[in-house]
Amino acid sequence: MTVTTGTTGTATRVIQRQIMPLDRDMEVMSLYIDLEDAHLDEDKYVVGGTQAAKDINNTQIRQATGSGRRVQPEQLIDRTRFKVLPGQGVSFGSLFNGFPASYWRRWTIVDKVRLEVTVSGADAHIIVNKSLANGNSQRVDSATTTEPGQQTFSFDLSLGPFVDGGWYWYDVVAGENECVVSANWTAEVPADRAEHGTVDMAITTMNRPDWCARLLQQFGNADLMPYLDTVFVMEQGTQLVEDSEEFPAAQELLGDKLRVLKQGNLGGSGGYARGQLESVRKGTATYALMMDDDVVCEPEGIIRQVTFGDLARRPTIVGGMMFNIYSRSRLHSFGEVVQPWRFWWLTPEDAYVAWDFSTRNIRSARWLHKRWDVDFNGWYSCLIPRVVLEEIGLSLPLFIKWDDSEYGLRAKEAGFPTVTMPGAAVWHVPWSDKNDALDWQAYFHHRNRIVAALLHSTYPKGGRLLRESLNNQIAHLVSMQYSTAELRLQAMEDILQGPAHLHEMLPTRLAEVNALRKQFSDAVLVADRDDLPPVRREKPPKRGKSISEVPSKRAQLIKAVTGPLRQVRPTRDLAADFPEVEVPASDAKWYQLASFDSAIVSMNDGTSAALYRRDPELFKALLKRTLQLHERYRREWPELAETYREQLGEITSPDAWERTFAPWTGTDEAGEA
* Residue numbers annotated as active site: 404
- Dihedral Cα 601, 606, 607, 609, nearest 10 deg: 0
Q: Are 228 and 198 in contact (CB under 8 A)?
A: yes
Q: Phi first, then psi: give them for residue 375, nearest 5 degrees.
A: -95, -30
Give every CB contact of residue 539 below 8 A, 6+ residues apart in sequence. none
Between the CA of residue 562 and those of 2, 537, 613, 614, what are the distances in Å?
A: 68, 21, 18, 15
**DSSP bridge partners of 318:** 383, 419
Three-state DSSP class for residue 276: helix
How far is 596 from 592, CA to CA, in rounded Å? 8
CA geometry: angle 445, 446, 449, nearest 5 deg: 80
User: Apex CA 605: angle with CA 326 and CA 533, to 5°?
Assistant: 150
CA distance 320 to 294: 15
Determine the Cα–Cα distance for residues 58 and 517; give it in Å rounded to an integer: 63
The SS3 of residue 545 is: coil
The percent helix, strand, coil of the chain (3-state, each to 5) is 40, 25, 35
CA distance 131 to 128: 11
Contact status, residue 228 vs residue 201, Cβ threshold 8 Å: yes
Residue pair 37/89 in contact (Cβ under 8 Å)? The answer is: yes
Task: Return the closest-CA partner of residue 173 out of 65, 316, 12, 297.
Answer: 65
